[in-house]
Structure 1
């Protein structure tokens, strides 16, 4: 949420618009980068970012 809020402030837009913009860009980036690189990137980010990359945010099974 903090990342999307920062983008909304920087773009002087609503949270919904910022979330849409961020998700559009990161989903395109993930498609260009490929699955393996995107998986590695998401492994380094906190939980919750997968949705912004057009991926399901799945919890690891215990």
Structure 2
């Protein structure tokens, strides 16, 4: 899966390529664009058993 982050003008400010191995449910970050992977873990937003990836985007990058 590719997650693309755009600003209000439609310009791409960051992107992350994530792969989930459905056999064992592990999430792997394959590549990033203008962002830094901070951590991987389990869902802290919705409270599900899904894994999540937290990324940090620095302004001006």
User: Could you say which structure has the greater relative contact order, defined with CA pairs below 8 angstroms and 6 or more residues apart?
Assistant: 1
Pick the TM interval, shorter chain: under 0.3
Higher strand share: 2
Q: Structure 2-normalised TM-score?
A: 0.21
